[in-house]
Amino acid sequence: MEERHKRILQRNRVNLVRDLDPSDMYDGLLSKGIFTQDMIDEIKSSGIRRDQARQLVRDLETRGSQAFPALIDCLHETGQHSLAELLLDGEPQNQPLPQPVHVRPVVRPLPVYSPMDTDKPVHVVTPVYPTQSVKPMPTTPSPSPEREFGKPRATGRVRRDSIQSYKMDANPCGHCLIINNVDFEPKSELSNRTGSNIDCDKLERRFRSLNFIVLVKRNLKQKQIRQELLALSKVDHSQYDCCVVIMLSHGTEVGHNRFPGAVHGVDGPNVPVQHITNYLNGQNCPSLQGKPKIFFIQACGGGERDTGFEVSPDEARTCIGGTGDQTDAMPMSSSSDSLSTQSDEPDARATLPTPSDILVSYSTFPGYVSWRDTQAGSWYVETLDNILEENAATDDLVTMLMIVNHEVSQNSAKGLYKQMPGSFNFLRKLLYFQAPPCQRPIQS
């Protein structure tokens, strides 16, 4: 689609989402070759009428130069003449849309009085624009983008008890995919991850008890990891409330602009965590829109070992760990598997929506190693499993992960090395898992 047509759609997106009836448009857009039947089905699965309208408008921008004229034709054919006229009003006749003019501000000092000395003026620099573009200064703050879209900015303090919780009562609750990489190919130059099967078994039992459909995949190559995530994104999650992905593998540090780190396939190449999350975002997995997507990453974030810092005696604790402790580390990657490659995959588009309803929990701070006991499993998974068993009936996920962070931070490997888990949290509500009946608090 031409840039001028994209700008018209973007400028009128609110009106289109509010008023457009997409159900009448599908046959016309299909017959004109703008969408395929699979694309139409994907838009239909995105949710209610407003969600379908929003997805239709977004997808139209990617469908070539005939998409805009076809949209106008379909609007007229379905009797939605007012929307067609609204879009045509923004279409200049044989003229490109004007480009915005950037005017450099003229800086002039304005006198103000110091709060410490009301008799002596001081000067601050305030930008004043040239006369031809100066407008009267409003007496109230300019509206934010949220206000322009009819959503006033919240004022005052938000109470914790006013925060909503995600719906988590579906039976079963949702899918849980566990990828457990233990045995690495010699060409990968990565050691086998002894003890990871212990982690996998614990988490499989735990999430089954939390009413998830658990699928375990072992020893996957990089391409197979992507295939499993793509298959999960194609599942119809409309009857479920949540989705969980657990990655147990060697890890490394990679460049990113949202979620750091990457996990290795058993053949050596890695999949960035940012790509892993993108498979399930609201754009690539419409049936999970507005639902929590939780990712647990048991892998190193890099090769640096944290020796910690000295604390007061009341903060100290007996060392945990021994000679069997191993790491899941690899040096920082500069391989061809960067964020700009694999453009045929749905998670590698040039622009992606801001992630929402996503939480990524890392076993260690980006850049540092993650410790694993060959007999007991990793520190992070052992602690996470214990906290879920003890607290899932009463605490939300973010609270439980904070407890995990604290507990793991108290451990020491070989009496020297430390580990600090953490999360990248884009959840909008509290998340409470379905606790097994034996864990639920007794109602008085």
CB 362 within 8 A of CB 297: yes
- Point out the catalytic residue in the list 173, 176, 243, 300: 300
* 263, 250 contact by CB (below 8 A): yes
SS3 of 42, please?
Answer: helix
Written as one letter, the residue type at 360 is V
114: left (phi over 0), alpha (psi -120 to 50) or beta: beta
Q: How far is CA 213 from CA 129, 298, 403, 427, in A?
A: 61, 20, 26, 22
Establish how many alpha carbons lie within 13 A of residue 214's alpha carbon, considering only the half-sphere containing its beta carbon.
Answer: 18
SS3 state at 290: coil
123 is catalytic: no
HEC string of 183-206 equals CCCHHHCCCCCCCHHHHHHHHHHH
DSSP state of 404: H
Angle between helices 379-391 and 397-409 (to 10 degrees): 140
Pull the structure tokens for residue 217: 């995949």
**DSSP one-letter code for 54:** H
Residues 6+ apart with CB under 8 A from 227: none
Per the rule left: phi > 0, alpha: psi between -120 and 50, beta: everything else, 154 is beta
Are 300 and 330 in contact by the 8 Å Cβ rule? The answer is yes
Assess whether 406 carries a catalytic annotation.
no
Catalytic residue among 5, 250, 264, 275: 250
Active site residues: 250, 300
